[in-house]
């Protein structure tokens, strides 16, 4: 056991492991089936990640059966990416995409995808996102759309709209939520552009995606879209 693993276990709160299991849908047939939790709060996991000195074996943590250890690995990767030179960033980007099978719950995607995949692709070609959007893996599809948050924050909305259109018929509610979230964030930057997207696709959008996308609209406008 590494020093970071020991520190993580020192932060375990007795009785806490059962609550995340329900929150992250770990029952039979659910998206997080079989995932295991130590019972460590996210702020405590972040505190342990900040102790990384660059020597931690991230792959060992990422392949752990324990959810918090995988989250720790991803927080360390984000931290190293943000502090790294161009070679380090490329190596982390490649490592991330080679290990998506371990990035297998919505929180793991959401804390890391846009900060690594999105950040790397800001000024680079993005066909990998469209490939992932067509993946049979729910988590790769979620990585594809959540990665665009980096573009949105940089004022680039085109990829978000393109991927959201591609994912309109996705069968998973978690994808409806992720697409709606990114559309809402795009709308914060350019409400008119979001309205153009909605007028083209509102009748095909899953209701959850639509609700998330129009969350910041005035009540009357929300009702109008929902009635469509």
What's the pLDDT tens digit per position in 148-180? Answer: 999 999 999 999 999 999 999 999 999 999 999
pTM of the model: 0.95
Residue 218 has pLDDT above 70, yes or no: yes
Burial of 70-91, coded b for 16+ CB within 10 Å and e otherwise, reads bbbbbbbbbbbbeeeeeeebee
Return mean pLDDT, the chain. 94
Q: How confident is the model at residue 1 (pLDDT cuts 50, 70, 90)?
A: confident
* Three-state DSSP string of 108-145: HHHCCHHHHHHHHHCCCCCHHHHHHHCCCCHHHHHHHH
What's the pLDDT tens digit per position in 45-67? Answer: 999 999 998 877 899 999 999 99
What's the pLDDT tens digit per position in 77-134? Answer: 999 999 999 999 999 999 999 999 999 999 999 999 999 999 999 999 999 999 999 9
Residue 21 has pLDDT above 80, yes or no: no
How far is the C-alpha of 160 from the C-alpha of 183, rounded, in Å? 7
Please report the pLDDT score of residue 16 as a whole number.
64
- Residue 171's CB is within 10 A of a number of other CB atoms, namely 8
What's the pLDDT tens digit per position in 172-217? Answer: 999 999 999 999 999 999 999 999 999 999 999 999 999 999 999 9
Please report the pLDDT score of residue 115 as a whole number.
98
């Amino acid at each position: 056991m590494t020093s970071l693993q020991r520190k993580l276990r020192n932060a375990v709160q007795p009785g806490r492991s059962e609550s995340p299991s329900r929150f992250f849908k770990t029952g039979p047939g659910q998206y997080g089936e079989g995932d295991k939790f130590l019972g460590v709060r996210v702020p405590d996991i972040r505190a342990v990640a900040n102790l990384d000195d660059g020597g931690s074996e991230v792959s060992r943590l990422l392949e752990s059966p324990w959810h918090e250890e995988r989250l720790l690995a991803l927080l360390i990767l984000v931290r190293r990416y943000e502090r790294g030179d161009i070679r380090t960033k490329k190596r982390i980007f490649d490592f991330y995409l080679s290990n998506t099978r371990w990035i297998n719950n919505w929180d793991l995607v959401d804390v890391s995808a846009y900060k690594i995949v999105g950040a790397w692709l800001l000024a680079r070609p993005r066909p990998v996102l469209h490939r992932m959007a067509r993946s049979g893996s729910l988590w790769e599809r979620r990585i594809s759309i959540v990665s665009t948050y980096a573009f949105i924050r940089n004022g680039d909305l085109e990829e978000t709209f393109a991927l959201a259109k591609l994912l309109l018929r996705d069968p998973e509610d978690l994808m409806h939520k992720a697409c709606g979230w990114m559309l809402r964030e795009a709308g914060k930057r350019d409400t008119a552009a979001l309205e153009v997207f909605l007028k083209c696709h509102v009748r095909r959008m899953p209701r959850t995606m639509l609700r998330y996308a129009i969350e910041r609209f005035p009540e009357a406008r929300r009702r109008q879209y929902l009635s469509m």
